[in-house]
Chain A
Amino acid sequence: MTLMRSILGAAAGLALTAGAVMADPAIIFDLGGKFDKSFNESAFTGAQRWAEETGGKFREIEMQSEAQREQALRRLAESGSNPIVMTGFAFGNVLEQVAPDYPDTDFVIIDAVVDLPNVRSVVFSEQEGSYLVGMMAAEASKTGTVGFIGGMDIPLIRKFACGYAQGVMAVNPDANVIVNMTGTTPAAWNDPVKGSELTQAQISQGADVIYAAAGGTGVGVLQAAADANILSIGVDSNQNHMHPGKVLTSMVKRVDNAVEKAFKDGPGMDSGMMVMGLSNGGVAYALDEYNDSLIKPEWKASVDAAAAKIASGELTVHDYMSDNTCPVINF
């Protein structure tokens, strides 16, 4: 082994010094991976759209470990990438320490708030979009029992669940909302098998519409729901096409728009907080050719009416994050 190390050390001496200067934008995907058919993939779609429209290039990194967060941020900033977009609240703490060291670089963080002059914080009102799909779920449910499958039991997912339950209760106050979380480790964001097991468990308890907010795990939820001939609700990206006629709708979180806008704005963009809600198209329920036969016109009318009320501020959906409680379900 010592021999090995001295060989490696010698090779290190010969190796080239890396790092050409560039001014391309960069995006860092959180643990869970770029192709999760959900949150990260939506961000990737936005970046790709920018690249196709402008012909520009961007650098991308997928996280593998917690210690890499700071490493990736610093290396990208030092190599001249600007702006640097990161997906996921877990970057918040690290960015607070890194951003002041690179005042000329613009950072964009999605799903967390970092109050620094060169950081744009993009947060979504997931509770509003979840409220709308909750209303849809209650309308479509024949049993009066609907399900929610989250990734990990963390505040962000509780925010989804709480909005969803409020929407369900708004249509059917007697409804039963079953809430399950997939796991307690980050593997929970990418565990379709567990997702499909939980789906079957919820079906056996009477659920006939199930909302998945669990990243890649949702693929298994949608599959199991389609196999059992019940309805599911996708999340983050529009997942209606995955099982045409079986996915009731998707709670679309326009991460792609946020990323595309950040890339477009480029270096020197406005910093500060950007709240993406119903009023500015940040969240929505998805309606397309794959699910329009499932949704009755009167459901659409009542959901759209609620959406208009939320957008105008007439109706507020309780945000779990505001006080760590939810009026309709206990965690």
Chain B
Amino acid sequence: MDVMPKWADVILVPVISLLLAMAISALVILLIGEDPVAALKMMVQGALGSSYGWGYTLYYATNFIFTGLAVAVAYHASMFNIGGEGQATLGGLGVAIVCLAVPWPHWALALPAAMIGGALFGAAWAAIPAWLQARRGSHIVITTIMFNFIGAALLNYVLVNVMRPEGSMDPATANFPPATHLPTLHELLAPIGINFSKSAPANVSFLIALVACVAVWLLLWRTRFGFEIRAFGRSESGAVYAGISPFKIIMGAMLISGALAGLMAINNVMGEAERLVMNSVEGAGFIGIAVALMGRSHPLGVLIAAILFGFLYQGGAELALWTSIPRDLIVVIQGLVILFTGALDNMVRMPIERVFLALRRRRTEG
């Protein structure tokens, strides 16, 4: 029997965690002599107050949805995939190769091919740690985090020595041809009369991310393989007894996870930069862990948490741009939110559970 009603579990606990994180952030801002109310206003205004702000918030959120879903799928198989960063890096390489190698006539053709490229490269980068876990028992946390560094080194080598245009100082690929440029939300919404900001980077990948949320939900809760993943994640011995192959589940879950992380590249590489730069992922792979934790590994939760983190990123950027609050403090604020919603979840959850238990006892007694 559940201790708490569902709404308390899904809404009340995260909201209280968030409020606690905001309260401590406000204290920190007060300590360095700035006005926390003005800071919050600026964050909200900067991230959600205009279609420009929304464009950035949704752009960041799109990255976090993909990496968050990646972590969530693996998590259901009780695999902790910390390699989203490296898988997304390699996904970027896959997308770049697809966009540069073929003279695409139209983005609508280039996008599916780029998705396949990104997903394949991401999945391939997850496959080695997955195989090592499934066959050799090498812990997935250790191997995936190591593969992040190998991925960064590989990309560094490829960009400096192979894909850099002649004479360019910048370690990056050539610009993708204009036909592969994805339409931004501005171009998508203009025909239906909504004037969305032109300069914001949010693009059609956001819709792909929403589709990915639905697809992951269908996979986990409406297919046999999803059921096997969840059964395996709850109890490995139980799953084996039921005839589920651990090798198949570990490989399958990790390949899907890596493919989702690799798909992120259609947003940051193809949609925003329109070329592959060295530092394209920028920690989104790690933010994905926080997003999945906060979203309780449910696609809807991941979506909402990703938008929250998009808000924190964009709002934080506005703070850094327009106030004297140093950028390190913005990292502190983001860290506090992760700490409270992810790591210190039980600190809030247990007292609330106790309150609900007491309420119920009184009801049954009375």
Contact = CB atoms under 8 A, between A and B. Distances in A.
Contacts of A61: 320-321
A240 to B, nearest CB: 28
B170 A66 contact: no
A153 B160 contact: yes
B317 to A, nearest CB: 6
Interface string A59-80: 0011011111011101100000
A1 B321 contact: no
Interface string B191-228: 00000000101000000000000000000000000000
A92 interface: yes
Interface stretch (B44-52, B122-130, B242-250, B351-359): B44-52
Contacts, number: 119
Nearest to A33: B327
Contacts of A70: 199, 201
Contacts of A13: 49
Contacts of B102: none
B160 A3 contact: no
Nearest to A76: B321
A65 B317 contact: yes
Given A2-B304, A90-B277, A93-B275, A65 B282 contact: yes
Nearest to B14: A1
B44 A8 contact: yes
A12 B156 contact: no
B57 to A, nearest CB: 11
Given A62-B327, A67-B272, A3 B15 contact: yes
Contacts of B304: 1-2
A16 interface: yes
B40 A11 contact: yes
A70 B160 CA distance: 23
Contacts of B305: 1
B175 to A, nearest CB: 7
B49 to A, nearest CB: 4
A301 interface: no
Interface in B334-355: none
Contact of A15 (B41, B155, B160): B41
A21 interface: no
Interface in A161-195: 184-186
A18 B42 contact: yes
Interface SS majority for chain B: helix
Contacts of A93: 170, 172, 175, 275
A92 B169 contact: yes
Interface in B139-186: 149, 152-153, 155-157, 160, 164, 166-172, 175
B279 A186 contact: yes
B308 A1 contact: yes
Interface in A3-25: 3-5, 8-9, 11-18
A218 to B, nearest CB: 20
B317 A11 contact: no
Interface residues of B, number: 55
A184 B153 contact: yes
Given A18-B322, A153-B156, A12 B44 contact: yes
Contacts of B59: 67
A8 B15 contact: no
B273 A8 contact: no
Contact of B49 (A15, A33, A74, A185): A15
Given A18-B322, A67-B59, A155-B160, A4 B317 contact: no
B239 to A, nearest CB: 32
A321 interface: yes
A184 B172 contact: no
Nearest to A13: B49
A152 interface: yes
A62 B320 contact: yes
B289 interface: no
Given A1-B15, A1-B304, A61-B321, A152 B156 contact: yes
B280 interface: yes
A256 interface: no
Contacts of B307: 5
Given A153-B160, A185-B279, A67 B201 contact: yes
A5 B171 CA distance: 40
Nearest to B148: A185
Contacts of B316: 64
16 contacts: A4-B18, A9-B48, A14-B41, A15-B42, A15-B44, A16-B45, A18-B42, A18-B45, A64-B320, A65-B317, A66-B279, A67-B56, A92-B169, A93-B275, A155-B168, A185-B152
The 9 closest A-B pairs by CB, nearest first: A15-B45, A184-B152, A12-B49, A184-B156, A184-B153, A15-B41, A1-B304, A154-B171, A12-B44
Given A16-B45, A17-B45, A153-B156, 6 more contacts: A1-B304, A16-B41, A18-B45, A67-B56, A90-B277, A93-B170
